[in-house]
Structure 1
Amino acid sequence: MTTADAETGRPRTTRLPYRRAGDRYLVDVPDTGAPWVRDLGKSPQATLEIGEVPHAARAVPFEGGIALHPLEIDAARGRAIADQLLVHHGELRKALAAARAELDGAPPWERPVLHRELLGNCVTFCNGLRMHHLREDGAFTAIERAHPGLAPALNRLRAEHETVSRALLALDDLLQGRGEFESAALREEFERVAKGLEEHFAYEEANLLPALRGGGALDLGTHGEVTPSG
């Protein structure tokens, strides 16, 4: 099970024994101070990996344990997911725009300060984006079950999540000093990541939102490819 770290937002994966009760997964909680329990106390969303298949789930506590309810898609839930997707994408787009403004506006003598600010922003942004994609991967399982015709688009989006993850690691390497820090190299890597993310968001919105809101999915064909890093 993967949860969002209650303090950092970083994905935390924990192996847990469980038992089935209908469509729910029940987990005993002998230690209420366990990190994953604290995580669920802050955000009840979790991604379960069962048989190598991710499932989005919501945690509901009961006496002595937690019941994990896998996501099921109906008309109302589909519309809610569509709205939530746009909100998350809007937040991520704002974060990218803010980082670009910092890159564009900092004079050379402020570059060390910019480096520290971008590093802090990247940690927050990257953790948030990784959790967003992990949760999406879990939600995609339920979406595909409700909308089998979306399987090709969902498979592409899953693959793009992997590409985005590699691009974020390359950007993080520059900011962490594991690669040579130069303004031009940083800007080039940042634009590569930003371009890939925007195309990913656009493809996802065009293909998933109509179906989740009750219409048909638009196939963008070869448009909106995520640009690999390196």
Structure 2
Amino acid sequence: MVDYLQELRFGLFPSPDAAAAARTLELAQVAEVSGLDLLTVQDHPYQSRHLDALTLLSVVAARTTTLRVALNVANLPLRPPVVLARSTASLDLLTGGRVELGLGAGAFWDGVVAAGGERRTPGEAVDALEEGIEVVRAVWQEGGPAVRVEGRFHRVVGLHPGPAPAHPVEVWLGAYGPRMLRLTGRVADGWLPSMGYADPDRLGALTATLDDAARAAGRDPASVRRLYNVMGRLGGRGTGPRLHGTAADWAEQLAALTEEHGISTFVLASDDERTVRVFGEEVAPDVRERVTARRAGDAGAATRGRPVVELGPGAPPQPLAEGEGAWDESTRPRFPAPEGASYTAVQQAQPAHLVEVHDHLRSELEQLRGVIEQVEAGRTSVGQARSEISRMTLRQNAWTLGAYCEQYCRVLTTHHTIEDVSMFPRLRQVPGAAPVLDRLTAEHHVIHDLLERVDRALVGLVTGGDDGLPGDTAPLRAVVDLLSDALLSHLSYEERELYHPLAQVGFQ
């Protein structure tokens, strides 16, 4: 059992069906507003019914603002590594660093040959992949020496490198056999198997081979990201290598994969909109909660008996806006912090978990503000939007913004309800905490009123004006500024004043 303590991510793996291109793009937007982090597509250039994978990812990236995109995985026998490297770097630059690169050695060789590629043995395919990775990474070293790779399968002589991607693009390998796993451990940034080919019962043995290779190469196995393509049916029974049961059942199954095999990125193969929404809105947050709690528990168990250490709450972040939404700090009760208080690591994990939850809310709020800016920029650049295509684009952007706002408001309301009903009653047993809890509850109500104002502003935006375009974003921008100011101040106040109560009695 091993958890590499990597950041958890969740993604979508839709079908690149050319006959349902519009559905795929809609699913991408649903994935984004549902809170997913990543969208990947398979790459089979010989498949006549599929959209070209890189073209599809480019359009998905243009239609979204936060989704990362990746090939799952690139068919290297039909993708010359120099061209693939430059295509990937170009898309990463154009998206502001939202691209990763999945690579495969090749399969379905009849199709590869039919499309003009060479048939290779399994050993040759692995060797060609290793050469291809060397070429790709050398091309990304803009300003470096000329690219020279004298390989058996790939030969590059004196090519000027560049462009460099916007961020260090990770190379993930789809690997199952011993040679591919050893290659992954030696050179890859991530491992990307699929549940259909490597069911959970096999992951332990495959992981051991990969980790041994990483250590032999002088690498920390935890430096290799662990991704997993998963499939399942909500409400389905437990038959075969797939997720089954309710959303909570899915969350428990995925959390167990993190705890037992170190999987940190789960990519769901699905074309069903409801399943995608549930995966993003219910399953993913639940998995994060379960894994965070287990990691905190493990940290506490590992440090029991060690000396206590001093740790205090950090300074609150600065609010994003000033004005109506600002709280008067002088009116806020303070918790009478015990002088010289010290807490063990397991006690410190309780307030630290609250900060983790709040940091997710802060991150989502920043993304919401980014979507508003994109819609504002789109309307400004199009001007009067005389063409129907421009009008449709702006209406679609308004729909995306509305869905994103609604999702954020729902998540925030749920968070505050859980605090009021489950956490605060327990903390009231701590002497001196009641005035702080009363004030926090009152602030929850004020924030709820701001969320209702966001909803009213959304109605005005989506309803639009006489020109058939979405309405003015200024009212929405104003109320989101107020929400940002109030919420960021509230979160910091809560973290500061509940630090000691949470360390003393915990969440449950």
TM-score with structure 2 length normalisation?
0.29
Q: 1:186 aligns with which of 468, 471, 480?
A: 471
> Residue in 1 aligned with 2:60?
none
User: Closer, same or farther in 2 for the Cα pair 1:171/1:39, shift >3 Å?
Assistant: closer
1:137 maps to which residue? Answer: 413
Q: What do residues 58-111 of structure 1 show as CA deviations (whole Å, max 9, x unaligned)? A: 279xxxxxxxxxxxx931221112211221111111111111122222243546
Q: 2:382 matched to 1:106?
A: yes
SS in 1 for 2:466: coil
Alignment of 1:157-168 (within 5 A): 157-168=447-458
Task: Structure 1: state its 5+ residue gaps.
Answer: 1-5, 12-27, 47-56, 61-72, 217-230
Q: Does the 8 Å CA contact 2:385/2:391 hold for their aligned counterparts?
A: no
Asked if structure 1 preserves the Cα contact closer than 8 Å seen for 2:460 and 2:471, the reply is no
CA distance in 2, matches of 1:131, 1:89: 11
- Give the distance between the partners of 1:208 and 1:137, measured in 2 at CA: 14
Q: CA deviation at 1:205?
A: 0.7
What is the alpha-carbon root mean square deviation over aligned residues?
Answer: 3.4
1:38–1:97 distance in 2 versus 1, CA, 3 Å:
closer
CA distance in 2, matches of 1:92, 1:42: 16
CA distance, structure 1, for counterparts of residue 484 and residue 283 of structure 2: 21
1:182 is displaced (CA, Å) by: 6.2
> Where does residue 361 of structure 2 map in the other structure?
85
Q: Taking structure 1 as reference, are residues 114 and 130 closer, same or farther at Cα in structure 2, changes over 3 Å only?
A: same
Alignment partner of 2:485 out of 184, 187, 202:
202
Q: Residue 401 of structure 2 aligns with which residue?
A: 125
1:43 Cα deviation from its structure 2 partner:
4.7
Partners of 2:235 and 2:245 within 8 A in 1: no
Distance between the aligned counterparts of 1:40 and 1:129, measured in 2?
17
The answer (yes or no) to whether the contact 1:45–1:59 under 8 Å persists in 2 is yes
**Higher Cα Rg: structure 1 or 2?**
2
Question: 1:70 aligns to what?
Answer: none
Distance 2:384 2:460 in 1: 23
Alpha carbons of structure 1 residues 111 and 207: separation in structure 2 relative to 1, 3 Å: farther
Identify the residue that residue 192 of structure 2 maps to in structure 1. none
**Inter-partner Cα distance in structure 1 for 2:383 and 2:447:** 38
Q: Which moved more, 1:105-114 or 1:95-104?
A: 105-114
Q: Verify the 8 A CA contact 2:365 2:408 in the aligned structure 1.
A: no
Alignment-derived partner of residue 51 in structure 1? none
1:150 to 440, 465, 483: 440
Equivalents in 1 of 2:368, 2:393: separation in Å? 17
What percent identity do the matched residue pairs reach?
A: 13
Residue 193 of structure 1 aligns to which amino acid in structure 2?
Answer: L
Give me the whole-angstrom Cα distance separating, in 2, the residues matched to 1:110 and 1:156.
41
- In 1, Cα distance between the equivalents of 2:287 and 2:275? 10
Task: Tell me the secondary structure at the aligned position of residue 40 of structure 1.
Answer: helix
Q: Which residue of 1 aligns with 2:310?
A: none
Residue of structure 2 equivalent to 1:25: none
The equivalent position to 2:235 in structure 1, one of 18, 29, 33, is 29
**SS of the counterpart of 1:167?**
helix
Give the secondary-structure state (helix, strand or coil) at the position aligned to 2:286. Answer: strand
Which is richer in strand? 1
The 8 Å contact of residues 103 and 114 in structure 1, kept in 2 or not, is answered as: no
1:40 to 267, 270, 278: 278
